[in-house]
Structures are given as structure tokens and as C-alpha cells.
């Protein structure tokens, strides 16, 4: 299984599943990270965390710790 935090910058992947539960998972799904959604990793913040990703046509920032819960392919 591959996770969103392991994906190289600039590449586009598809969300398979969000692991975990509760507010963090719901929040990520609310923001559009649902099964089958295409996600592009745009960049990493100057200090190495968080990430900036493009999902459903807009820019979203999530921490690496949260990206670790997103299974992608």
C-alpha cells in the first residue's frame, strides 16, 4: 500500500481510502478527499511540512502526519 506522504512532488495519484476515524478523517473527506478522487502533490512548505495538494480544482494544505492516513494508487 502506498500513502500520500510517500508520493513524489509533482505527481498525480488517486485516493483509495482514508484510514483512521473521527474528526480528522471526516474533515479530510469533507474537503473532498474521497475514494477515487485525483490528487496532485504541488509542494512542500519551506520548513519541510505541511504539504500543498490540489484536489477537486483547489489548493489544500495538509500535514504529513495526515497525509499518512491517505492510501493512494
Partner 1 sequence: MKIRIALTGNPNSGKTTLFNALTGSAQYVGNWPGVTVEKKEGRYRAQKEVTIVDLPGVYSLSPYTLEEVISRDYILEEKPDAIINIVDVTNLERNLYLTTQLLETGIPVVIALNMMDIFNKSGDKISIKALSQRLGCPVLPISALKNDGLDPLMKTALELANQKKKFEAVHKFHPTVETALDKVEKILYHNDNANKDLRWYSIKVFERDDKTLKKLNLPRDIVKDIENIIHNAENLLEDDSESIITGERYELIEDICSAVLQKKQTGLSVSDKIDRVVTNKWLGLPIFIFVMWFMYFISVSTIGTIITDWVNEEFFEVIVTDAATSFLESAGAAPWLLSLLVDGIIGGVGAVLGFVPQIMLLFFFISILEDCGYMARVAFIMDRVFRRFGLSGKSFIPMLIGTGCSVPAIMASRTIEQDRDRKMTIMLTPFIPCSAKIPIFTLMAATFFPRNSLVAPSMYFLGIAMVILAGVLLKRSALFKGDPAPFVMELPPYHLPRPKGVLIHMWEKGKSFIIKAGTVILAGVIIIWFLQSFDWSFQMVETDQSILANIGHAISPLFAPLGFGSWEASVSIFTGFLAKETVVATFGVLFGIAEATEETTGLYPHIAALFTPVAAYAFMAFNLLAAPCFAAIGATKREMGTWKWTFIAIGFQTGLAYLVALVIYQIGSAIFYGTNITGAVIVSALIVGAIVYLLFKAYMENKKAVAQN
Q: Which is nearer to partner 1, 14 or 45 (CB)?
A: 45
Q: Minimum distance between the CB of residue 10 and partner 1, rounded to whole angstroms?
A: 13
Tell me which residues touch partner 1 (CB under 8 A): 18, 21-32, 34-35, 37, 43-50, 52, 56-63, 65-66, 68
Looking up cell 519551506, which residue turns up?
46
* φ, ψ dihedrals at 61, nearest 5°: -110, 125
C-alpha cell at 11: 505527481
Q: Which is nearer to partner 1, 8 or 22 (CB)?
A: 22
Task: Tell me the C-alpha distance between 49 and 21, whole Å.
Answer: 22
Amino acid at each position: 500500500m502506498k500513502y500520500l506522504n510517500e508520493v513524489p512532488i509533482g505527481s498525480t495519484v488517486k485516493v483509495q481510502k482514508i484510514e483512521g476515524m473521527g474528526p480528522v478523517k471526516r474533515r479530510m473527506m469533507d474537503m473532498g478527499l474521497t475514494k477515487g478522487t485525483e490528487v496532485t502533490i504541488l509542494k512542500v512548505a519551506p520548513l519541510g511540512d505541511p504539504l500543498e495538494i490540489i484536489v477537486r480544482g483547489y489548493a489544500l494544505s495538509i500535514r504529513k502526519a495526515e497525509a499518512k492516513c491517505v492510501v493512494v494508487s
